[in-house]
Amino acid sequence: PEMRAACLLEVVRPESSRATTLPTITNAMYALVSQYPNNMELRVRYAELMLYSRQYSYAEQTLATLTPETINAPQVLALRAWLR
């Protein structure tokens, strides 16, 4: 599921395709997180997706659910910096 999440995120990285692909990608990513709720990497990717869609409160809420081991990972700290 981690590789699928990474691929989904890559689809929305380019600004030009974001508006048309975000709803579909968001639904697919949400389904992955729902299917694997204990997978912290998926949650981090979902939070990043929420940043791309300017859903900052959802990104913050998603990051708040991370485990103590994950909370200080460099990628998580970088996402939190974007939210500040």
Q: What is the four-CA torsion angle of 63, 72, 14, 61, rounded to 10 degrees?
A: 10
Tokens of 41: 């990497």
13/10 Cα distance (integer angstroms): 5
pLDDT (tens digit per residue) in 47-65: 999 999 999 999 999 999 9
Q: What is the four-CA torsion angle of 47, 53, 56, 61, rounded to 10 degrees?
A: -40
Q: For residue 60, what pLDDT is reported?
A: 95
pTM (whole model) above 0.75:
yes
Tokens of 7: 């691929």
Mean pLDDT of the chain: 93
